[in-house]
Structure 1
Amino acid sequence: MKEISLYHAELIMAPFSEHEAEHYGYDEELFSLDLVNPVQAEFAIGKWLVPHAANWSAGGRELRREASRICISQDMPFGNSWLPGIDDLCRVAGDLKEYSRNLAVFQRQVWERLFGERYSALPLEQYVLRVDKEFEFFPDSPNLWTVPIYSSWPPGFKGRELSAS
């Protein structure tokens, strides 16, 4: 079984957090983009996510990859970061189907750029959800992990073979 934390997918999006963007002074540039536009999305991924990923350990990279695989398969965002264009359109139009479609396209674009491969789904049964804080907060430092604590999947998670749609 592969241990994952959904928080590891959220860590991928750290450069898109409002706090980090403001702290480093690129918030206006980031939040003026439209991530529905593939060219602008590629620009943002290359400018902020790729350099951030360069600091990951091999093990931390694998943990983030598998957590993001689960997020994509469950139609859930990698985290709570505001995604300009994607979230804006959802707020204005209120169309959750369009939001889900745009989110999926963007997250697969992130996946392909960061992990250098096309997204493919794996059965949820291959994974176990680990929730101890040391594992969640320090994916690149296994020496800091303590005794594993596991949890059930959140309500609504699909347990069947995860679709590649």
Structure 2
Amino acid sequence: MKRKWWIICFLSILAGSALHFLYDLWPNPLTAVFAPVSESVWEHLKLLYWPFLAAAFVLTKDEADGRKSWCGLLAGLLGAPLLLLGAYYTLLSGFALYGLPLDLILYALAMAGGFALAWHLQRARLPAWLCGVLVIAAGIYGAALALFSFAPPELPIFLPPV
């Protein structure tokens, strides 16, 4: 990946880490949209979504072919939480591994994995219809992150760990 992408990936990881504490410092409905309001796995997916989305705007600012870049970045935005959830639940359920150091490593790897996926896909010629699907999926996912902060379903992913 380009050096610029790695730098922005690193800054996104730092931004997500800072977002973790935003709601504790300033608890209100606006910060609840962007920062975790509980320790549930679902709430922590915001730490991937919002910094990655902001990074996508930075990375596409001077791009000649914005559609191609956005298509790859949206795939990375949607792929990062899948990577995180897959690894987290595999390690938790399959190997009984959990803890803060592991969570931090998984977070950084998921963010880097999302950026790597975006980098590779933005260089490929993805069909235009797929980009439209990715825009809709990313919008629905972002809306779900916001909505379920205020009205979470009674499912394990939305409950804080015991």
TM-score over 0.5 (shorter chain) = no
Using structure 1 for the length normalisation, give the TM-score: 0.31
Structure with more helix by fraction: 2
What's the TM-score once normalised by structure 2's chain length? 0.31
Structure with the largest fraction of strand: 1
